[in-house]
Amino acid sequence: MQTNLLHRIRSEVERYWPPHLAAVIGVSGGPDSMCLADAAITLGRTAVLAHLHHGLRGDEADADAAYVRDFATGRGVPVTVAHENVSALAANSGDSIEVAARRARYAFLAAVACTNGLTHVVVGHHADDQAETVLLRLIRGTGPTGLRGMLQAGPVPGAAGLTLLRPLLRLTRAEIDAYCVDARLQPRIDSSNLANDHTRNRVRHELLPVLERFNPGIRAVLARLADTTAADVDAVAYATAQAMHALVSDDLTVDRVGWRALPVALQRGVLRACVQRLRGDLTDLPYAAIEEARDVLNSDAVVGEIALMRDVRVAVRVRTFHVSGG
Amino acid sequence: MQTNLLHRIRSEVERYWPPHLAAVIGVSGGPDSMCLADAAITLGRTAVLAHLHHGLRGDEADADAAYVRDFATGRGVPVTVAHENVSALAANSGDSIEVAARRARYAFLAAVACTNGLTHVVVGHHADDQAETVLLRLIRGTGPTGLRGMLQAGPVPGAAGLTLLRPLLRLTRAEIDAYCVDARLQPRIDSSNLANDHTRNRVRHELLPVLERFNPGIRAVLARLADTTAADVDAVAYATAQAMHALVSDDLTVDRVGWRALPVALQRGVLRACVQRLRGDLTDLPYAAIEEARDVLNSDAVVGEIALMRDVRVAVRVRTFHVSGG
């Protein structure tokens, strides 16, 4: 079983981290990131370890930084350790300590990547983290896009030009702990749970135990739901791109007859993609505006104009409609 | 506000129940079905009410049946009331009372539809029911297809040739109760909660209160998630049909190069659709078999054969693959 576990963790890393891609590994010193770092080094991946000291938790944090530095030295891998005063950052920005810490961490990882000429950052999020993320988004009210949870590969928050990889996303916390025992790692345990905000901690301690009474495998179930939803969201994006190609001209004149024959999700996708082309982003485009426009375009209205949002209008014609700005 | 509420309920019924469609309304005598029946009759829909006495709960059930009969008579609408011995059905089939009762109800509604030459059955499921259904499926481990919850329009269970409509699916239980007060209905309250199985009752009484502590609007959030997921699932089905048209010949030879360029959900969809064409259904097609076939077809394997399931083989060639039975 130990051999199976090692095999499984290594095959996940191999699957989601291409062999010749050098990357920064974000390392707190905890079990997740130490498992990741150990597996990556064992598999011969080229990596720079990066650890941010948050200027909180005094001696304990000093010992975390020392542990990461010793590990890197022992394995002959470069490491960057930086100090940040997260309390001051939070006070200045008005954010919570957790939010300020998260932003500082990703800014630091992005900086280490740039300094080393690297384009990828790898972190140790696992299936239990994913289950919590899915539940948090579910509770706040998400659609399929949010229900995908964290992605195996996505942009680094605050540094969209860099890619964030999460090769451990299908492994459970229990598997990672077992790997650490097996590999004789002695990861640090963060007693303050600094990485987690208040609501995430409540999800872990109040909600997940209730869900486990219904289904002991609930964490795996939620992580798998995120996977299958992500696949559907990708397919909808692909089908939307095909519809754009078939129905929309360069000046954003849309074949209304063809558009009306599309399923609802693709009707929405085409309208959003037109706004995206026109304005470069979708910020401030309300869901209700898309639905109101759909109502008109699906009706027998033959002429008129819809204000989709500030500076975006839709001119309604019999067999086409035209999206324009200004 | 009362006027708004009436308007809202009526506009939902008008949206999902075409004006000239005569249908059977399943009526228990409770608030949901009485709201539905009252709104439908007020809007001039042609309907036959249908009530099944389950042979349980003695006098209380007799009074439910009498209430429905009196309501129908008072409004001048035809009604069919039948008796069933659900305890005996459950004992014979080995099912729980709840499962036997549900099956007997839908069989009865289908029979009333057939007797009256009708193709549609309408029931009073609402957004609170939908939230529970979504949670039940989430807990059991569902993909996007299950997360759609109950559909506004779908097949009648056990009678696929008939269509089941749920026009109240976006209305909350509170809105339905308010409608009943406003319309001076005095619906019956089923003290045994016979319509609900044990797990559904636990979801309602153990899980939903915990989720409401995180977000008081959780029921609406879950019902909306079901809506947006249903739209994505429809779009994936549409895109799969387009891919079948573009890449698959009548004898189920598939353009392997084109198939490899598809997003994962459409690769899966095309393989499943081939099996569907070959065998007429997808029963017994394991998820893992599809994934193993995808691994081979996405690899550089140039020749060989995959057993997708009993009696379904995939012959792998360089630029195509061929799905066949026997």
pLDDT digits (tens, 9 = 90+) for A80-99: 999 988 889 888 988 888 88
pLDDT digits 0-9 by tens, B118-156: 999 999 999 999 999 999 999 999 889 899 999 999 999
CB atoms within 10 A of CB B96: 12
Percentage of the residues of chain A whose pLDDT score is greater than 70 = 97
Q: A234 and B263: CB-CB below 8 Å? A: yes
Average pLDDT over residues A288-316: 90
pLDDT digits 0-9 by tens, A186-221: 898 876 665 667 888 899 999 999 999 999 999 989
Q: How far off is chain B from A239, nearest CA to CA, in Å? A: 6
Average pLDDT over residues B36-58: 91
Q: Which residues of A touch B217 (CB under 8 A)?
A: 141
Asked if residue A48 has pLDDT above 60, the reply is yes
Q: Which residues of B touch A259 (CB under 8 A)?
A: none
Q: What is the model's pLDDT at position B53?
A: 87
Q: Which residues of B touch A242 (CB under 8 A)?
A: 239, 242
**pLDDT category, B9, cuts 50, 70, 90?**
confident
pLDDT digits 0-9 by tens, A125-152: 999 999 999 999 999 998 899 999 999 9
CB A144, CB A134: distance < 8 Å: no
Q: Which residue of A has its CA nearest to B141?
A: A221
Average pLDDT over residues A1-19: 82
Q: How far off is chain A from B85, nearest CA to CA, in Å? A: 31
Q: What is the model's pLDDT at position A248?
A: 97
ipTM for the complex?
0.85
Q: Which residue of A has its CA nearest to B232?
A: A265
Q: Which residue of B has its CA nearest to A207?
A: B210
Q: What is the model's pLDDT at position B215?
A: 95
Q: How far off is chain A from B171, nearest CA to CA, in Å? A: 17
CB pairs under 8 A between A and B: 122
Q: What is the model's pLDDT at position B37?
A: 96
Average pLDDT over residues B32-55: 93
Q: How far off is chain B from A195, nearest CA to CA, in Å? A: 20
Asked if residue A2 has pLDDT above 70, the reply is no
Instruction: Give the nearest partner residue to B235 out of A138, A147, A236, using CB atoms.
Output: A236
**pLDDT category, B1, cuts 50, 70, 90?**
very low
Q: What is the model's pLDDT at position A75?
A: 95
CB A250, CB A258: distance < 8 Å: no
Q: Which residue of B has its CA nearest to A200?
A: B214
Q: What is the model's pLDDT at position B314?
A: 95
CB B289, CB B312: distance < 8 Å: no
- In terms of C-beta distances under 8 Å and separation of at least 24 residues, what long-range contacts does A64-72 make, across chains too? A64/A28, A64/A29, A64/A188, A64/A190, A65/A29, A67/A29, A67/A188, A68/A27, A68/A28, A68/A29, A71/A34, A71/A37
Q: B231 and A264: CB-CB below 8 Å? A: yes
Q: B232 and A234: CB-CB below 8 Å? A: no
Q: How far off is chain A from B160, nearest CA to CA, in Å? A: 23
Q: A235 and B203: CB-CB below 8 Å? A: no
Asked if residue B180 has pLDDT above 60, the reply is yes
CB A276, CB A290: distance < 8 Å: no
| B57 Rama class: left (phi>0) / alpha (psi -120 to 50) / beta | left
Q: What is the model's pLDDT at position A1?
A: 43
Q: What is the model's pLDDT at position A195?
A: 60
pLDDT digits 0-9 by tens, A229-285: 999 999 999 999 999 999 999 999 999 999 999 999 999 999 999 999 998 888 788
Q: Which residues of A touch B214 (CB under 8 A)?
A: 139, 199, 202-203, 207
Q: What is the model's pLDDT at position B300?
A: 87
